[in-house]
Amino acid sequence: MTIKDFINKAYKYALVGATTNKEKYGYLVLKDLVGAGFNIVGVNPKYQEISGIKIYSSLKDVRQKPDVVIFVVPPEEGLKILDEVVEVGITKVWFQPGAESEKIRQKAKQLGIKIMADGSCIMLARQSLGL
């Protein structure tokens, strides 16, 4: 799979690890994709909305199934959420730098999830595609 298989303005995205902390990628990615016209919601049980963007407590609560889930959480936390990704029927996951690990790559492969976990930042990848 290539970056183009994960980045498409027609896709719906969910960002696991959305936060109000303006210095963290959970905020930066959310705002970047919204600003570029992408359809994205956040996932974090601590919030209901961030800067007018809907935040859900879990992937199961997201009303319209996302095409791609973006992880900005530590790999240990992401490992737990991969089961929920499969349960909801999502097949593509993008791991931001620091959210990936060999263990999480292996589990995603076992679960049949297509992943982008090569250290690429989705914001830079989006920009490189001119989107």
Give the Å distances, CA to CA, from 69 to 51, 97.
20, 14
- As a whole number of angstroms, the distance between CA 15 and CA 40 comes to 7
- The amino acid that residue 81 corresponds to is I
Q: What rounded mean pLDDT belongs to the chain?
A: 96
List the CATH number of the domain containing 53: 3.40.50.720
- As a whole number of angstroms, the distance between CA 30 and CA 34 comes to 6
3-state secondary structure of 31: helix
Number of H helices, E strands in the chain: 4, 7
The whole-number pLDDT of residue 16 equals: 98
Q: Please name the residues in contact with 80: beta carbons below 8 A apart, sequence gap of 6 or more.
A: none
Share of the chain above pLDDT 90, in %: 98
Q: What is the mean pLDDT of residues 48-67?
A: 95
Give the Å distances, CA to CA, from 92 to 20, 66, 82, 114, 125.
25, 9, 11, 5, 16
Q: What is the mean pLDDT of residues 109-126?
A: 95
Q: Which two tokens stand for residue 39?
A: 């359809």
Q: How many domains does the chain have?
A: 1
Share of the chain above pLDDT 70, in %: 100
* Domain extent for 116: 3-128
Q: What is the mean pLDDT of residues 93-116?
A: 96
pLDDT confidence bin for 1, thresholds 50/70/90: confident
